[in-house]
A = this chain, B = another copy of it.
Amino acid sequence: MTWHRKHLLDIESLSASEIMTVLDTARAFKAVGTRAIKKVPALRGKTVVNLFVEPSTRTRISFELAEQRLSADIINFSAEASSLKKGETLKDTARNLEALNADMIVMRHSASGAPHFLARFLRASVVNAGDGAHEHPTQALLDTFTVLEKKGKVAGLNVTILGDILYSRVARSNIWALTKLGAKVTLCGPSTLVPRVFEEMGCRVTYDVEEAIREADIINLLRIQHERQRKTMFPGIGEYASLFGLSKARLARTKPDALIMHPGPINRGVEIDSEIADCGRSVILDQVTNGLAVRMAVLFLLNGGKGPQEIAI
């Protein structure tokens, strides 16, 4: 399928074949990362602004390196250093960046819908790099890419997402991507953090972790944000680890080829046993590598690329 979108705002509005176009394009870009010269001229002379109003390290670095490997000119703009502090509105900030002939704005913001808001009046392409508790589309695309790469398919797989689902944009984007491609998604975690309303997105909700992981082909562990722990909804780190953490004992009761995923950064000993994070069934670092390829693909397509057939490698 030929790509024709200008923005990447969410997974919800993408079709299965659009998702596949991104993944196919990412596969071509992944090969770039293994070459002696890890660089292509696709975005030479284009300006990409990384507008991170909410702090981020790994997502920002992944995007920035993707932009460098596409030969773009890059402006990093963080909230701390910004005019936003002087009372300028987000709209004015974005318009000013566009007036510098920015071609693309990669945006993280604590408010759900902020990238959609920008996209309505900018000529530049907008990439959602995480908006509040809403969506984190490139994370879901890289997760899905990793599933497809390791398992050869997505349709029919049992994927269990374990942890704090309620406020997780990662979970939300993953649910959209996985269900669109035909996977069966199970959500599990403390009942306060995994409300039954998610069943309306086509998932199964369970609070029995043993049952949730028993038939899983993929176990995606979400990060417990203990630095901003919500006191009233959360049992405490130690209790979480014992009730929902992936221990060696629990891993032994999963399918022998079940893969372990985690968007990082991991809390060893909390949501995952330290040894499991480093074992052969963990694809956590593959996710990082694939994130770079997926983000190169997204930037390439939004810049007018049609699909993988256009990448001469």
Contacts and interface: CB of A to CB of B under 8 A. Distances in A.
Contact of A69 (B55, B73, B265): B73
Contacts of A44: 37, 39
Interface in A61-94: 61-62, 64-65, 68-69, 73-75, 77, 81-83, 86-89, 92-93
A120 interface: no
A88 B268 CA distance: 8
A88 B45 contact: no
A88 to B, nearest CB: 4
A79 to B, nearest CB: 10
Contacts of A33: 101
A37 B47 contact: no
Interface residues of A, number: 52
Q: Is the interface of A mostly helix, strand, loop or mixed?
A: mixed
Interface string A92-134: 1101111111000000000000000000000000000000000
29 contacts: A36-B45, A38-B45, A38-B46, A38-B47, A38-B73, A39-B44, A39-B73, A55-B81, A57-B83, A61-B97, A65-B73, A65-B100, A68-B73, A68-B74, A83-B264, A83-B265, A87-B265, A88-B264, A92-B264, A92-B265, A92-B266, A96-B264, A96-B265, A96-B285, A96-B288, A98-B285, A99-B288, A100-B288, A101-B292
Interface of A: 33-39, 44-47, 55, 57-58, 61-62, 64-65, 68-69, 73-75, 77, 81-83, 86-89, 92-93, 95-101, 226-227, 264-268, 285-286, 288-289, 292
